Structure 1
Amino acid sequence: MGDFDVRRILIDPGSSTDLLQASVINHMGLELSGLENLGKILSRFNGAATTSLGDIVLSVQAGPVTLNVQFSVVEDLSPFNAILGRMWLHYMKVIPSTYHQMVSFLTEDGQIDQYGSQLAACQCYQIA
Protein backbone atom coordinates (compact mmCIF):
# COMPACT_ATOMS: atom_id res chain seq x y z
CA MET A 1 0.00 0.00 0.00
CA GLY A 2 1.42 3.28 -1.00
CA ASP A 3 5.16 2.59 -1.02
CA PHE A 4 5.01 0.10 1.87
CA ASP A 5 4.76 -3.68 2.11
CA VAL A 6 1.79 -4.22 4.43
CA ARG A 7 1.29 -7.68 5.91
CA ARG A 8 -1.63 -9.33 7.74
CA ILE A 9 -4.31 -8.33 5.23
CA LEU A 10 -7.67 -10.10 5.37
CA ILE A 11 -9.62 -10.61 2.13
CA ASP A 12 -13.24 -10.48 3.31
CA PRO A 13 -16.07 -10.85 0.76
CA GLY A 14 -18.48 -10.10 3.61
CA SER A 15 -17.09 -6.63 4.28
CA SER A 16 -18.74 -3.75 2.42
CA THR A 17 -15.89 -1.39 3.38
CA ASP A 18 -12.13 -1.55 2.92
CA LEU A 19 -10.56 -0.95 6.35
CA LEU A 20 -7.10 0.12 7.48
CA GLN A 21 -5.59 0.15 10.95
CA ALA A 22 -4.62 3.66 12.15
CA SER A 23 -1.18 2.41 13.22
CA VAL A 24 -0.42 1.56 9.56
CA ILE A 25 -1.00 5.23 8.64
CA ASN A 26 1.44 6.26 11.38
CA HIS A 27 4.08 3.74 10.20
CA MET A 28 3.77 5.17 6.69
CA GLY A 29 4.59 8.61 8.06
CA LEU A 30 1.19 10.00 7.09
CA GLU A 31 -0.88 12.27 9.30
CA LEU A 32 -4.29 11.24 10.61
CA SER A 33 -5.26 14.92 10.41
CA GLY A 34 -5.37 14.60 6.61
CA LEU A 35 -8.25 12.12 6.64
CA GLU A 36 -11.61 12.94 5.01
CA ASN A 37 -15.21 11.95 5.94
CA LEU A 38 -14.50 11.93 9.66
CA GLY A 39 -16.69 10.02 12.09
CA LYS A 40 -18.40 7.54 9.77
CA ILE A 41 -20.32 4.89 11.73
CA LEU A 42 -19.35 1.34 10.74
CA SER A 43 -21.42 -1.66 11.74
CA ARG A 44 -19.78 -4.99 12.50
CA PHE A 45 -21.27 -8.34 11.60
CA ASN A 46 -22.53 -8.77 15.19
CA GLY A 47 -24.35 -5.42 15.10
CA ALA A 48 -21.81 -3.55 17.23
CA ALA A 49 -20.85 -0.13 15.88
CA THR A 50 -17.49 1.57 15.66
CA THR A 51 -16.62 5.05 14.40
CA SER A 52 -13.99 5.49 11.70
CA LEU A 53 -11.31 8.13 12.09
CA GLY A 54 -11.83 9.08 8.44
CA ASP A 55 -11.07 7.93 4.90
CA ILE A 56 -7.83 7.83 2.94
CA VAL A 57 -7.06 6.76 -0.63
CA LEU A 58 -3.95 4.60 -1.06
CA SER A 59 -2.63 2.64 -4.00
CA VAL A 60 -2.76 -1.13 -3.50
CA GLN A 61 -0.61 -3.40 -5.63
CA ALA A 62 -1.54 -7.05 -6.14
CA GLY A 63 0.89 -8.69 -8.52
CA PRO A 64 1.29 -6.41 -11.54
CA VAL A 65 -2.00 -4.57 -10.91
CA THR A 66 -2.17 -1.32 -8.92
CA LEU A 67 -5.53 0.10 -7.86
CA ASN A 68 -6.39 3.20 -5.81
CA VAL A 69 -8.50 2.11 -2.85
CA GLN A 70 -10.48 4.25 -0.40
CA PHE A 71 -9.97 2.91 3.11
CA SER A 72 -11.91 3.76 6.24
CA VAL A 73 -9.31 4.14 8.99
CA VAL A 74 -10.15 2.56 12.34
CA GLU A 75 -8.33 2.51 15.66
CA ASP A 76 -8.48 -1.18 16.56
CA LEU A 77 -8.70 -3.69 13.72
CA SER A 78 -6.34 -6.22 15.21
CA PRO A 79 -5.09 -8.78 14.43
CA PHE A 80 -5.24 -7.49 10.84
CA ASN A 81 -3.57 -4.35 9.48
CA ALA A 82 -6.11 -4.07 6.66
CA ILE A 83 -9.30 -5.67 5.40
CA LEU A 84 -9.98 -5.66 1.68
CA GLY A 85 -13.70 -6.12 1.14
CA ARG A 86 -16.21 -6.42 -1.68
CA MET A 87 -15.28 -3.12 -3.35
CA TRP A 88 -11.66 -4.16 -3.91
CA LEU A 89 -12.70 -7.69 -4.90
CA HIS A 90 -15.17 -6.26 -7.43
CA TYR A 91 -12.83 -3.75 -9.06
CA MET A 92 -9.97 -6.27 -9.24
CA LYS A 93 -12.39 -8.96 -10.50
CA VAL A 94 -10.87 -11.27 -7.91
CA ILE A 95 -11.97 -14.81 -7.21
CA PRO A 96 -11.11 -15.59 -3.58
CA SER A 97 -10.58 -19.18 -2.42
CA THR A 98 -10.62 -19.75 1.32
CA TYR A 99 -9.84 -23.44 0.81
CA HIS A 100 -6.63 -22.69 -1.09
CA GLN A 101 -5.98 -19.45 0.86
CA MET A 102 -5.44 -17.48 -2.33
CA VAL A 103 -6.99 -14.98 -4.70
CA SER A 104 -7.02 -15.31 -8.46
CA PHE A 105 -7.55 -12.59 -11.06
CA LEU A 106 -6.93 -11.95 -14.74
CA THR A 107 -4.54 -9.44 -16.27
CA GLU A 108 -3.59 -8.71 -19.86
CA ASP A 109 -0.78 -11.24 -19.43
CA GLY A 110 -2.98 -14.04 -18.06
CA GLN A 111 -4.14 -15.37 -14.72
CA ILE A 112 -2.42 -14.29 -11.49
CA ASP A 113 -2.68 -16.40 -8.34
CA GLN A 114 -1.62 -14.75 -5.07
CA TYR A 115 -1.27 -17.07 -2.09
CA GLY A 116 -1.50 -16.17 1.56
CA SER A 117 0.73 -17.48 4.33
CA GLN A 118 -0.60 -20.39 6.41
CA LEU A 119 1.69 -19.41 9.28
CA ALA A 120 0.56 -15.76 9.25
CA ALA A 121 -3.10 -16.83 9.17
CA CYS A 122 -2.61 -19.10 12.19
CA GLN A 123 -0.84 -16.31 14.08
CA CYS A 124 -3.65 -13.83 13.33
CA TYR A 125 -6.32 -16.22 14.57
CA GLN A 126 -4.33 -17.01 17.72
CA ILE A 127 -4.14 -13.27 18.47
CA ALA A 128 -7.90 -12.87 17.95
Structure 2
Amino acid sequence: MSSHRVLVVEDDLEIRESVMEILEEHGYEPVGAENGLEALDRLREPGPPPCLIMLDLMLPRMDGKEFRQEQLRHPELAHIPVVVVSAFRDATQLVQGMHVAEVLRKPFKPEQLIDVARRYCPPVAPSA
Protein backbone atom coordinates (compact mmCIF):
# COMPACT_ATOMS: atom_id res chain seq x y z
CA MET A 1 0.00 0.00 0.00
CA SER A 2 1.29 3.45 -0.91
CA SER A 3 1.88 5.99 1.81
CA HIS A 4 0.75 9.60 1.86
CA ARG A 5 3.05 10.26 4.80
CA VAL A 6 5.48 13.17 4.45
CA LEU A 7 8.30 13.66 6.94
CA VAL A 8 8.91 17.37 7.58
CA VAL A 9 12.33 17.97 9.15
CA GLU A 10 12.46 21.60 10.26
CA ASP A 11 13.72 23.13 13.51
CA ASP A 12 11.58 26.29 13.26
CA LEU A 13 8.33 25.28 14.94
CA GLU A 14 6.24 27.88 13.10
CA ILE A 15 7.52 26.83 9.68
CA ARG A 16 7.21 23.12 10.51
CA GLU A 17 3.62 23.52 11.69
CA SER A 18 2.69 25.65 8.66
CA VAL A 19 4.13 23.11 6.23
CA MET A 20 2.39 20.26 8.05
CA GLU A 21 -0.93 22.13 8.05
CA ILE A 22 -0.75 22.80 4.29
CA LEU A 23 0.08 19.15 3.61
CA GLU A 24 -2.72 17.93 5.87
CA GLU A 25 -5.24 20.23 4.15
CA HIS A 26 -4.36 18.46 0.89
CA GLY A 27 -4.79 14.93 2.22
CA TYR A 28 -1.22 14.09 3.19
CA GLU A 29 -0.17 12.67 6.56
CA PRO A 30 2.61 14.94 7.78
CA VAL A 31 4.99 13.81 10.50
CA GLY A 32 7.29 16.42 12.04
CA ALA A 33 10.85 16.26 13.32
CA GLU A 34 12.92 19.05 14.84
CA ASN A 35 16.34 17.71 13.82
CA GLY A 36 18.09 14.89 11.98
CA LEU A 37 18.23 12.55 14.98
CA GLU A 38 14.50 12.88 15.59
CA ALA A 39 13.88 12.36 11.87
CA LEU A 40 15.82 9.07 11.93
CA ASP A 41 13.70 7.96 14.90
CA ARG A 42 10.54 8.80 12.95
CA LEU A 43 11.77 6.76 9.97
CA ARG A 44 12.26 3.75 12.23
CA GLU A 45 8.71 3.88 13.63
CA PRO A 46 6.35 1.08 12.58
CA GLY A 47 4.11 1.67 9.61
CA PRO A 48 4.66 2.57 6.00
CA PRO A 49 7.68 4.77 5.27
CA PRO A 50 7.02 8.31 4.09
CA CYS A 51 6.67 8.93 0.37
CA LEU A 52 8.78 12.09 0.78
CA ILE A 53 11.15 13.79 3.22
CA MET A 54 11.18 17.60 3.26
CA LEU A 55 14.52 18.52 4.84
CA ASP A 56 15.91 21.80 6.12
CA LEU A 57 19.72 22.03 6.04
CA MET A 58 20.37 24.06 9.21
CA LEU A 59 19.25 21.87 12.11
CA PRO A 60 20.41 21.41 15.71
CA ARG A 61 22.00 18.16 16.92
CA MET A 62 22.21 16.60 13.43
CA ASP A 63 22.02 18.87 10.39
CA GLY A 64 20.43 18.07 7.04
CA LYS A 65 23.64 16.83 5.40
CA GLU A 66 24.44 14.49 8.29
CA PHE A 67 20.87 13.20 8.28
CA ARG A 68 21.00 12.49 4.55
CA GLN A 69 24.35 10.67 4.88
CA GLU A 70 22.87 8.48 7.61
CA GLN A 71 19.68 7.87 5.62
CA LEU A 72 21.68 6.72 2.60
CA ARG A 73 23.56 4.18 4.76
CA HIS A 74 20.33 2.24 5.30
CA PRO A 75 18.94 0.48 2.20
CA GLU A 76 15.42 0.39 3.68
CA LEU A 77 15.48 4.21 3.98
CA ALA A 78 17.74 5.29 1.11
CA HIS A 79 15.00 5.07 -1.55
CA ILE A 80 12.82 7.76 0.09
CA PRO A 81 13.15 10.96 -1.98
CA VAL A 82 14.44 14.05 -0.18
CA VAL A 83 13.54 17.62 -1.09
CA VAL A 84 15.74 20.17 0.62
CA VAL A 85 13.78 23.21 1.80
CA SER A 86 16.19 26.08 2.34
CA ALA A 87 16.48 29.85 2.42
CA PHE A 88 20.15 29.71 1.37
CA ARG A 89 20.72 31.52 -1.89
CA ASP A 90 23.32 28.94 -2.87
CA ALA A 91 21.26 25.93 -1.71
CA THR A 92 21.72 24.17 -5.05
CA GLN A 93 25.51 24.21 -4.56
CA LEU A 94 25.20 23.23 -0.89
CA VAL A 95 23.28 20.05 -1.73
CA GLN A 96 25.74 18.80 -4.33
CA GLY A 97 26.68 15.24 -3.50
CA MET A 98 23.66 14.76 -1.22
CA HIS A 99 21.64 12.97 -3.93
CA VAL A 100 18.46 14.95 -3.26
CA ALA A 101 15.47 15.01 -5.59
CA GLU A 102 15.24 18.81 -5.68
CA VAL A 103 15.51 22.06 -3.74
CA LEU A 104 12.53 24.17 -2.69
CA ARG A 105 13.55 27.71 -1.81
CA LYS A 106 12.08 29.51 1.20
CA PRO A 107 9.87 31.43 1.22
CA PHE A 108 7.58 29.37 -0.99
CA LYS A 109 3.90 29.49 -1.82
CA PRO A 110 1.56 26.72 -0.60
CA GLU A 111 0.95 25.68 -4.24
CA GLN A 112 4.69 25.11 -4.72
CA LEU A 113 4.78 22.88 -1.64
CA ILE A 114 1.82 20.82 -2.85
CA ASP A 115 3.29 20.55 -6.36
CA VAL A 116 6.43 19.04 -4.81
CA ALA A 117 4.41 16.58 -2.71
CA ARG A 118 2.42 15.52 -5.79
CA ARG A 119 5.63 14.81 -7.73
CA TYR A 120 6.86 12.26 -5.19
CA CYS A 121 3.75 10.90 -3.47
CA PRO A 122 0.82 8.93 -4.83
CA PRO A 123 -2.29 10.94 -5.70
CA VAL A 124 -4.49 11.87 -2.78
CA ALA A 125 -8.23 11.24 -3.15
CA PRO A 126 -10.16 14.50 -2.96
CA SER A 127 -11.92 14.95 0.36
CA ALA A 128 -15.70 15.00 0.38
Q: Same fold (TM over 0.5)?
A: no
Q: Kindly indicate which of the two structures has a greater share of residues assigned to strand.
A: 1
| TM-score, with length taken from structure 1 | 0.25
TM-score (normalised: structure 2): 0.25
State the structure with more CA Rg.
Answer: 1
Higher-helix-fraction structure? 2
